[in-house]
């Protein structure tokens, strides 16, 4: 036995939040649409994680940057009261299934299997699983999960980075990657009074722009 929806959005990131906005504009009935995300919070504007979230003063915090503030739309409101975290009514009848990883999809039977063994059926599936961070091992370096190695992809990563910055004021950080996220991160570290060395393969930052 499992749950059954007309529309399922797999992934709870930026695309999911904006897709949900479009559904709310057209109107969805209770139980028609669900978002499944392995993150613990409703869709948020991920770009804020390397910008306002890392500021030493007046940092951005949820719920202030849930989608869809990036398009000057109102935030899709949600209720994060105790006990409601893993399956909540998001807004306008959208079910939000959080902290739930989908491990396989049976597209013939139109159903998804979650890591907890639940099946979720759909008539239409929207896949919005986004990207993931490249771990150190994948670039030939050991120590992915060593203490004080930070990544910057989701809220948990950004929260860890903020805590570490607070602990090491005046310290030294190495930023691997000279794209825009590496540069934004380096700028935030400096604003948090951390000395930074950037390491990247090209002769200058953001070579691709």
Ligand X SMILES: Cc1cc2nc3c(=O)[nH]c(=O)nc-3n(C[C@H](O)[C@H](O)[C@H](O)COP(=O)(O)OP(=O)(O)OC[C@H]3O[C@@H](n4cnc5c(N)ncnc54)[C@H](O)[C@@H]3O)c2cc1C
Nearer to ligand X, 18 or 92 (CB): 18
The residue number whose beta carbon is nearest to ligand X equals: 13
Interaction of residue 87 with ligand X, rule CB under 6 A: no
Interaction of residue 33 with ligand X, rule CB under 6 A: no
Nearer to ligand X, 65 or 92 (CB): 65
- Residue with structure tokens 């039977």? 109
CB of 101 vs ligand X, minimal distance in Å: 4
- Residue with structure tokens 């691997």? 176
CB of 39 vs ligand X, minimal distance in Å: 4
Interaction of residue 38 with ligand X, rule CB under 6 A: yes
- Which residues from 142-181 bind ligand X, rule CB under 6 A? 152-153, 181
- SS3 at position 181: helix
**Stretch touching ligand X by CB under 6 A, among 42-50, 55-63, 187-195, 201-209:** 42-50
How does 90-119 read in b/e, with b if 16+ C-beta sit within 10 Å? bbbbbbbbbbbebeebeeeeebbebeeeee
Q: How many helices (H) and strands (E) does the chain have?
A: 3, 11
Residue 187 phi/psi, 5-degree rounding, is -60, -40
Nearer to ligand X, 58 or 131 (CB): 131
Interaction of residue 37 with ligand X, rule CB under 6 A: yes
- Which residues from 9-28 bind ligand X, rule CB under 6 A? 11-16
Distance CA 152, CA 30 (A): 35
Residue 179's alpha-carbon distances to 21, 75, 149, in angstroms, are 30, 29, 18
CB of 159 vs ligand X, minimal distance in Å: 13
Interaction of residue 182 with ligand X, rule CB under 6 A: no
What count of Cα atoms within 13 Å lies in the side-chain half-sphere of residue 54?
A: 29
Interaction of residue 101 with ligand X, rule CB under 6 A: yes
Rule CB under 6 A: which residues touch ligand X?
11-16, 36-39, 46-47, 49-50, 101-102, 128-131, 152-153, 181
């Amino acid at each position: 036995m499992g749950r059954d929806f007309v529309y399922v959005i797999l992934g709870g990131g930026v695309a999911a939040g904006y897709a949900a906005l479009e559904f709310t504009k057209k109107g969805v009935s209770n139980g028609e649409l669900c978002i499944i995300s392995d993150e613990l919070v409703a869709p948020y504007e991920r770009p804020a994680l390397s910008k306002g979230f890392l500021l030493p003063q007046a940092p951005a915090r949820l719920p202030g940057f849930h989608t869809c503030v990036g398009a000057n739309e109102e935030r899709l409101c949600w209720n994060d009261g105790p006990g409601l975290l893993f399956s909540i009514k998001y807004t306008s009848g959208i079910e939000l299934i959080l902290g739930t990883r989908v491990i396989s999809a049976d597209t013939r039977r139109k159903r998804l299997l979650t890591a907890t063994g639940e099946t979720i059926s759909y008539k239409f599936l929207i896949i919005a699983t986004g990207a993931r961070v490249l771990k150190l091992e994948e670039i030939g370096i050991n120590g992915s999960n060593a203490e004080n190695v930070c990544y910057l992809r989701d809220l948990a990563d950004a929260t860890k980075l903020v805590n570490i910055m607070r602990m090491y004021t005046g310290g030294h950080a190495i930023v691997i990657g000279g794209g825009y996220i590496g540069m934004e991160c380096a700028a935030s570290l400096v604003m948090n009074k951390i000395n930074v060395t950037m390491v990247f393969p090209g002769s200058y930052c953001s070579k691709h722009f």
